[in-house]
Amino acid sequence: MPADLITFAHLAMSSRTYFSKTSGDIIIGTGGKGISAADAMKHVWGYTIINDVTARDWQSRHSQWLLGKSFDTFCPMGPWLVSADELNGSNTNVRCLVNGELRQNANTSDLIFNIPTLIETLSAGITLYPGDIIATGTPVGVGIGFKPPKYLVAGDVVRVEIDGIGAISNPVR
């Protein structure tokens, strides 16, 4: 099981609102542009795991989410790839645990946008290439949704599990 560090040290003075979210992610096998929802699954090679880390305060300072999600170490992924003929990515369970506490527990069928819609929407303006990875989004249970919010801190261990793929565990430093 991979254990790449999630490092906040470089942001210590500028952000204190770190969250981690589970994400079952699509790996494109056949590229294309203008892909219809009806044909979208023909373009999926398979799936992997992403630990989607966000500095929420950085994210909210800008009209785009890019900065809050793009810091070094903020997107541990893999290391397993599961082909689409081995896993129904549209109906699999996903979980996120922080220090053993279950924070997210959902099914990919409950995501706001299903896989065909994501591919159709993205490919309307972006050419997708083999090997591209699309993060599907996250189910309910992100840290900001708790009362009070539950932020990640140094020493935490985040584990993301997706049935049929495996798990990734990342210590926070």
171 vs 60: which has the higher pLDDT: 171
Look at the alpha carbons of 151, 67, 50, 173 in this order and tell me if their dihedral is positive or negative.
negative
Per-residue model confidence (pLDDT) at position 152? 83
Q: What is the mean pLDDT of the chain?
A: 83
Average pLDDT on 150-171 reads 90
- CATH for the stretch 9-171: 3.90.850.10
Per-residue model confidence (pLDDT) at position 144? 60
The model scores a pTM over 0.75: yes
pLDDT, tens only, 94-143: 998 999 999 888 898 988 899 999 999 999 999 999 999 998 877 665 65
Q: Is 32 helix (H, G, I), strand (E, B) or coil?
A: strand
pLDDT, tens only, 107-118: 989 888 999 999
Closest Cα partner for 67 from 76, 58, 78?
58
Closest Cα partner for 168 from 29, 55, 20, 44?
20
